[in-house]
Amino acid sequence: MTRACESHDTIKNNYLIMKRLILPGVLAISLYACQKTVHLHLDNAAPQIVIQGEVTDDTTGPYTVRVNRSVPFYAENSFPAVSGASIKISDNEGHVDSLVETAPGIYTTQGLKGKAGNTYALSVLSQDTLYTAVSTMPQAVKLDSISFNHEKIFGDKSIYAIPNFQDPPGISNYYQFVEYQNDKLLNKDIFVFDDRLSDGKYISRTLRNDSSYLQPYDWLEVRMYCIDKPVFDYFDQLDQSGGRGGNNTASPANPTSNISNGALGYFSAHTVRSIKLQVY
Amino acid sequence: MRLNSVFSLCVCLFPMFVSAQARHTVSGTIRDKSSGETLIGASIVFLETPNVSAISNSYGFYSISAIPGSYTMVVSFSGYGNDTINVHLQKDTSISITLENAAKQLQEAVVTAGRNNNVTKPLMGVQKLSINEIKDLPVLFGEKDILKTLQLLPGVQSAGDGNSGFFVRGGNTDQNLILLDEATVYNPSHLLGFFSTFNSDAIKDVTLYKGATPAEYGGRLSSVLDVKMNDGNNKEYHASGGIGLISSRLNIEGPLEKDKSSFIVSARRTYADVFLKLSKDSNTNQNSLYFYDINAKANYRLGDKDHIYFSGYFGKDKLGFGNTFGIDYGNATGTLRWNHIFSSRMFSNTSLIYSKYDYDVKINSGNNNIGITSFIKDLHFKEDLQYYANANNKINFGLDVINHTTSPGVISASETSSFNPLTLQSKHALESAAYVSHDLTVSSAISINYGLRAGAFMVMGPGDFYTYDKEGNVLDTATYSSGKVVKSYFNLEPRFSMNYKLTTSSSIKLAYTRTTQNLHLLSNSTSANPTDVWIPSSNNVKPEIADQVSAGYYRNFKDNQYEFSSEVYYRNMQNQIDYKNGAQLIANENVESQIVFGKGRAYGWELFVKKKYGKLNGWISYTLSRTERQFTEINSGRYFPANQDRTHNLSVVGIYKINKKWTLSADFTYYSGNAVTWPSGKYEVNGQIAFLYTERNAYRMPSYNRLDIGATLQGKKTKKFDSNWNFSIYNLYGRENPYSITFEQDPDDPSKTRALQYALFRWVPSITYNFKF
């Protein structure tokens, strides 16, 4: 609701604290604050194509590209698959992989092996429209360990994971973290950050879950991706510009996609390093 | 262009120097009888020649000239009893005048509303507030707040429920020049906007210029809010204060040397955090959430011709979460002024002004000990001269030099932290201006005010200055050393207003004003954000320019008991600022690459009727307006409604004095919803719902309305002690006015999404005890 600081890398990590401090502050001041569900008259935008594709350095493959469409705000959360698209991923070493639709709207690679440093080009031909994207897989950064941060905020006891790793100096790095709690993806939180203010440092940054909370003895898997700048921008904007519905900005907008021709979604070539451990 | 203007100015000034007949001048200072406070804006008129009149200036000084003879001089001031003095004008004469506050007078009948200056003077689009006027109004948390009262006037809009931020005629909050004893207040709010920085105990006079801004003011596009502090009682010592549910105030004033000098100190602190301290939870009770501020002023009269004033303000907000996170922020200002009366016709004020806003963020999480600080600081020299040539001519002229320094961000980090220490380049700029304006009474029906402000803004070294390509990549870097001029902008700002008197109680006015702005607040959030950063114009950021034309009709009824006005305005704005999608505004050396530039336009119609005295008084204000912006990058380059665009704005304010003990008050506010950006669809990213936006600001928030009531119970008044109780209920009928609307997956039915509305203030009662002895 009221967030005192936005879009600040450094603060972003501590953004939840702010939210948890300032929200009760405002509520304390306002005495009778309340929330309720309202029905709004929202336009129904024409369905738009959404493409999500990944190539990783996990050579066991295959890699997946998913294609579906947007729906009106008050429709069910089920997104119609786009079948029959012709999809190719090629790399700068001359490999071209034609993907096969293995389930409606889900297309998988046929033997392509991702490699750090390579650039990958995606092409999706659907209903006579060609959508293209390019992504370069950065060099991997080693994830050393995961530790935990115990915090008590307004009576809530929270445990957050802290990935620890050495940022390579002299180059721009972009990181994305994904958590699995007891093998279930925690997909509500977006954790992306860059080394703009941390170049060459040994980084320990708290992953502040906003929606799901870790419990002692849970099994937690933390995956660290090294992503390229356009993919970082995409997820950062998705997180910051209100693509997720919060109104921390006065002017929410769709995140800038690296896919051409007005498609929503992203194409990311990234490395994967992961650690699985029990929460303590 | 410039030569031409100078020439036309000379032509206009010429007639006043050839006026043949010798005239003499009466001049002096007008003060409150019991406190010695100077009175700003009091009227002086010679009954025998009703066209000869004067108004006391910001320091209570007046000067009025006429041909030799005997005159009856009447001095009046709103809320005060009139004073009549017989003057035998044979030579220049000095007369100091004291008026008695109506509240202290025995008969209430003699109170008049002062003269009909609203009808006779060319200045338009001006709103004045006296603390007397606002003291009985119901307010949120029982804290009198001039900024919230201003929002009840035409052309002024609230930035949100309970918020002290305001928009004037379609301008943004950063396009208001807010001055406290001439010092710029960069962040006029406390506690995320719920309180203003102005402690009304310390305030004497509040004037808002929203249309024809006088040439002596410059630097912001849409308005000037000129707030003047009390000088302090120079006759006897007094203490006053108030105890409320959420804050308390204390005010001490008195003479340093009787009738010659005085001081005043006002302080205020909120204690919302005391409730947090009561918590048993060890983390919660370490949280802090409060602000305090102190206003202090002293003045000393050095003989008849010289007067020195020193005033200062210091305020601090502290928000903290245990020792994990904290932010302190606040303004500090200081003003040293020297009034000098060169002659009965020439008044001078010289000011040295200091102003600073800073914030300090501390983060302490695991290994990460980080501090972030930022400030903007001004050193300001100002010289204003007023020349009262004769009854029909008055000239104001002067100059302004401001040295701006901004430090956009310094990050300190411990060795073990995940962050590198970083110091963003400080930015330096020199802003100077010279101005002249002329009040000219052409005939008994026509009076005009015209002037010119010539401004120069120089971006100064040292520093690296970048140029960017369309994508925001650095194309080129130029390094400048200290004292080198990087870029200069010159702007001429003509100001013109004219009054045509139709009858003794009605007039029409016309005005044209150009204003420019060279400091821009980077803010993209929905609420007042203490970490928003001011950036100066630069090689990439051009000055904002606004041209406004306005016209109005003014009519007073029943011996000036009722004032009516109707004004229309149109404002065109160039070089307006917006941000690229996902802009990184903070701690970014290349913040200027995150900005896009466009145009703006605003137009509207304002109606205002006010009953100024009597048992029942108050006002009704209505504004019909539109504010639009145009950026190539947004909505395919079409004009779109600005965030603050609201079609209708209505306020009704009433104060009813039942008897000597009880005063009742009420205010009602209605406004249309702001323009907002809402989703027009949704899609899925990594199994999570994302919302689809099609157009900026294509939707409207629901409309807003609220009724507040208040009552003041006057305690027994003695010579030594005066007290009252103030009760109020904010949002009496408890309407859930939407503060914000957010969108999310429905937690009760994950197959759906929902819109969630937050409302803040419902039935907020408050009680305040005020005392004075």
Instruction: Give the pLDDT confidence of B227-274 residue by residue, as tens digits.
Output: 999 999 999 999 999 998 888 999 999 999 888 899 999 999 988 666
Is A187's CB within 8 Å of B687's CB? yes
How close does chain A come to B127, measured CA to CA in Å? 30
Q: Is the pLDDT of residue A147 over 90?
A: yes
Mean pLDDT across the stretch B544-564?
Answer: 92
**pLDDT recorded at residue B560:** 80
B738 touches chain A (CB under 8 A): yes
B679 touches chain A (CB under 8 A): yes
**pLDDT recorded at residue A19:** 45
Tokens 């035998």, residue? Answer: B88
**In sequence order, what are the residues at sequence separation of 6 or more whose Cβ sits closer than 8 angstroms to the Cβ of residue B605?**
B566, B567, B568, B623, B624, B625
Is B526's CB within 8 Å of A250's CB? yes
Burial state string for B447-485 with b = 16 or more CB within 10 A and e = fewer than 16 = bbbbbbbbbebbbbbebebbebeeeeeeeeeeebeeeee
Mean pLDDT across the stretch B172-187?
Answer: 94
Is residue B133 left, alpha or beta, with left meaning phi > 0 and alpha meaning psi from -120 to 50?
alpha
Nearest to B420 among A31, A198, A252 (CB): A198
Q: Determine which helix (DSSP H) or strand (DSSP E) holds A239, and give its type and residue range.
A: helix A229-240
Q: Is the pLDDT of residue B527 over 70?
A: no
B272 touches chain A (CB under 8 A): yes
Mean pLDDT across the stretch B721-743?
Answer: 89
Mean pLDDT across the stretch B176-186?
Answer: 95
Are B223 and B168 contacting, i.e. CB atoms less than 8 angstroms apart? yes
Per-residue tokens: B561 = 């008991």
Q: What is the CA radius of gyration of chain B?
A: 27
**pLDDT recorded at residue A188:** 78
Q: Is the pLDDT of residue A133 over 90?
A: yes
Residues B260, B685: Cα–Cα separation, whole Å: 73
Nearest to A22 among B192, B422, B754 (CB): B192
- A-B contacts at Cβ under 8 angstroms: 297
Percent of chain A past pLDDT 70, that is, above it, reads 82
Is A30's CB within 8 Å of B418's CB? no
Q: Is the pLDDT of residue B212 over 80?
A: yes
Residues B646, B649: Cα–Cα separation, whole Å: 7
Q: Is the pLDDT of residue A46 over 90?
A: yes
What values do phi and psi take at B202, rounded to 5? -95, 0
Mean pLDDT across the stretch A243-248?
Answer: 57
How close does chain A come to B297, measured CA to CA in Å? 31
Most confidently modeled range among B116-120, B124-128, B353-357: B353-357
Are B665 and B136 contacting, i.e. CB atoms less than 8 angstroms apart? yes
Strands B93-94 and B24-32, how do they pair?
parallel
A71-91 residue pLDDT tens: 999 999 999 999 999 999 999
Identify which of B59, B61, B22 has the alpha carbon closest to the alpha carbon of residue B346. Answer: B61
Residues B640, B674: Cα–Cα separation, whole Å: 12
Q: Is the pLDDT of residue A157 over 90?
A: no
What type of residue sits at position B32?
Answer: D
Q: How confident is the model at residue B119 (pLDDT cuts 50, 70, 90)?
A: confident
**pLDDT recorded at residue B216:** 94
Per-residue tokens: B234 = 């120079």
Which is more confident, B594 or A27?
B594
Nearest to B581 among A50, A199, A256 (CB): A256
How close does chain A come to B656, measured CA to CA in Å? 28
Q: How confident is the model at residue B528 (pLDDT cuts 50, 70, 90)?
A: low
Mean pLDDT across the stretch A140-163?
Answer: 84
Lowest mean pLDDT among B65-74, B127-136, B630-639, B661-670: B127-136
**pLDDT recorded at residue B671:** 95
Strands B427-441 and B446-460, how do they pair?
antiparallel
Residues A174, A189: Cα–Cα separation, whole Å: 17
Q: Is the pLDDT of residue B19 over 60?
A: no
Residues B135, B145: Cα–Cα separation, whole Å: 9
B141-151 residue pLDDT tens: 777 889 999 99
Average pLDDT of the residues of chain B: 87
Mean pLDDT across the stretch B613-621?
Answer: 89
The ipTM assigned to this model is 0.90
What values do phi and psi take at B478, rounded to 5? -115, 130
A158 touches chain B (CB under 8 A): no
Q: Is the pLDDT of residue A15 over 50?
A: no
Nearest to B587 among A10, A13, A255 (CB): A10
